[in-house]
Amino acid sequence: MRHLFLLLLVVGFYGPLGAQSSPVAQLSLNQQLPAELLKSRSVVIVDLPATSKKVSWEATAKELHQGLRNMGVDPVAYYELGNVRSGPDAIKGFSGIFNSAKSRM
């Protein structure tokens, strides 16, 4: 259950980084993964609750990787949401990385 919850938090982040709506809000626990997600490589954005300070986002990404692969997702990169949204320059830089990666997929 923890992995499914984390999956819902981290998968499918292709919209604008500063957007107010979250792709997670569009998913439900019993919903199948979108076909587009299973057909392409994915960038995974990890966002852990503030209460999980004992667990690093890197450890969570490593633990999550095999589960994503087992579901048919092809994660190629992991980033921490706080780093991605740490400021205007970071947002601009990550937007460029994500758009570049999306155009190669």
Higher pLDDT, 22 or 84: 84
Q: Is the pLDDT of residue 105 over 70?
A: no
Write the pLDDT tens digit of every residue in 45-71.
998 887 777 788 899 999 999 999 998
pLDDT of residue 103 exceeding 70, the answer is no
3-state per-residue secondary structure call for the chain: CHHHHHHHHHCCCCCCCCCCCCHHHHCCCCCCCCHHHHHCEEEEEECCCCCCCCCCHHHHHHHHHHHHHHCCCEEEEEEEHHHHCCCHHHHHHHHHHHHHHHHHC
